[in-house]
Structure formats: structure tokens, C-alpha cells
Amino acid sequence: MGQRTQAAGGCLAMALGWGAGLAVWSVDVRARFWRFEQSPGFSALYAQLPLALLGGTAAGLALWAVSTRLASRLRR
């Protein structure tokens, strides 16, 4: 596998992980944003959203690294 293919795979894994993190965060976000019929809880935006995006990105890149490692071992 060439360097360009590996770089493209890493970028794709990062984008898919970011999207997965955003999708997981968006499930029932309205209930988390408006808690107990009070003022909006902005922690859903400044704390939970970045953590979901970072977690999704890390999971995607970890999956990409494992699959790259396994593919290199199978080619030997």
C-alpha cells in the first residue's frame, strides 16, 4: 500500500469517526440541551460536543491503525 493510499485512508477514517461522534452526540440532544424545563444547558455544546467529536475521531483512527497493521502482517 502506497503512502498516498495510507494517508487517504487515515483522512477517511478520521472523517468517518468525526461523523460517527457527531451522530452519537445528536441522539436526543434536545433533551440534554433543555434540562428540567429551565434555561438551556450549554454544557451540551461546550463540553459534550467536543468530547464526542474527539472520541469519534480517536476511535476511527484507532480502527484505521489496527486495520493497517493487520493488512501489513497479512501481506508478509
Q: Which three cell numbers stand for residue 44?
A: 451540551
Identify the pLDDT of residue 23. Answer: 92
Q: Each residue of 10-67: pLDDT tens digit? A: 899 999 999 999 999 888 877 777 766 676 777 777 888 899 999 999 999 999 999 8
Position 66: which residue type? V
Q: What is the pLDDT of residue 1?
A: 65
Extract the C-alpha cell encoding 76.
508478509
| Of 71, 57, 53, 50, nearest in space to 6 by CA | 71
pLDDT at residue 19 in the model: 93
Give this prediction's pTM.
Answer: 0.76
pLDDT digits (tens, 9 = 90+) for 17-33: 999 999 998 888 777 77
Residue 3 grid coordinates: 503512502
